[in-house]
Amino acid sequence: MVRDQVADFSVEYVQALDEEGDLDAAQAPDVDDDQLVEMYRLMRLSRRADERAIALQRRGESGTYAPAIGQEAAQVGSAIAMTPDEWMVPSFRESAAFLTRGAPFHRLLWYAMGMEEGAEVADANFPPAIPVGTQPLHAAGIGWGHEIAGERKAALTYFGDGATSEGDVYEAMNVSGALDAHAVFFCQNNQWAISTPRETQTRAETLAQKAVAAGIEGVQVDGNDVLGVLSVARDALESAREGDPVFVEALTFRRSMHTTSDDPSVYRTEEQESEWETRDPIVRFEAYLRNEGLLDDDRVDRITDEIEELLADEIDRAKAGREQVVPAEMFDHVFAETPPELQRQRETFEREQGDGEVASAEEGMSGEERAAGGEVSGRGDVREERETSEDEEVSGRGE
């Protein structure tokens, strides 16, 4: 049987900064010295923030947390390429991207502490998505909206290698290609879908080639090379702003646990971890900046001190906010109008929690009054007071 070849494709790989910190100028993005040092500070801030968040969880002061240790270059390099008004649509492991986009650390902690305020949509950042691979659909919708509105903007969504085995991710890429959605699909291939290694999850040689089936561009980049990631992300966003979506596969490694609820030593070896330790994104970038004369021991120490002071303030602020939480608020944000069954659950919860303040406020209120929003107004007052207190605290620190 004679067969004709009807399709051919290739996937490009990009690396600007190698493991020794040597730069390939042809792949390097245009970045001034101040921006280079700021990228380094953000990577250091992210790693230290994750370490502090893990410690809080271990002491029982926070809930489950998903650290991004080892993935700082992939997130900082891509997030810094976006404009402030372009939407970021993250999964649950994007602490570095959130911090790069200006989100305060206490909000990330609030999310881990179970506070609704930690999941609020703010500054063009979607809240973290817990279901694996659902959020790319949101980015496709936003990107299609930009196309319809004729806006020269793009949405960037983050997900992991495990999510590429989910149908939602392919559907998001396919509809984006068909409708010229302004979307960038940024996959952090950190080698593990929880405990499932990359090589047993798919027979595909690369994850970037999954873009081929959707008819969009796919490119692979060294995800531990912040300059390479920035270069690729800039190009991808520029293409997406013109209605040509792009899939980016950033090769990296999750150096810590999937979340604070698991133990990676059960499913991977010390040899695997040691191999990737030599490719650490921060060590590599710091070596480059020192060679360029942009960092020395004194400046590194100053950055370290500033980060410690900032995180200490943010953790204090997170704890102060948590003390004002009304746990029953979690029922308020599920439906626009609370259905009877959920209202019954809420009342049971309040009885079991012994929430005297809320229960007292609702005494004498009829079911119709509660359904009309009377109770929501009451809690709204609590939230307003809380936000006022936080604003005052910010002002105090700023002065």
Q: Is 284 a catalytic residue?
A: no
Rg of the chain, C-alpha, whole Å: 23
Distance CA 197, CA 266 (A): 12
Distance CA 384, CA 399 (A): 23
Q: Is 267 a catalytic residue?
A: yes
Distance CA 31, CA 34 (A): 8
Q: Is 342 left (phi over 0), alpha (psi -120 to 50) or beta?
A: alpha
Looking at 258, 284, 346, 386, which residue is catalytic?
A: 258
CB 358 within 8 A of CB 326: yes
Distance CA 48, CA 45 (A): 5
CB 29 within 8 A of CB 81: no
Which amino acid is residue 311, in one-letter code? L
Return the sign of the alpha-carbon dihedral for residues 47, 271, 16, 213.
Answer: negative
Looking at 13, 41, 170, 267, which residue is catalytic?
A: 267
Return the sign of the alpha-carbon dihedral for residues 380, 381, 386, 392.
Answer: positive
Q: Per-residue DSSP letters for 202-263?
A: ---S-STTHHHHHTSEEEEEETT-HHHHHHHHHHHHHHHHTT--EEEEEE----S-SSTT--
Q: Per-residue DSSP letters for 127-142?
A: PPP-STT-HHHHHHHH
Query: What is the three-class DSSP state of 371?
Result: helix
Looking at 254, 317, 346, 386, which residue is catalytic?
A: 254
Among all residues, which ones are annotated catalytic?
254, 258, 267
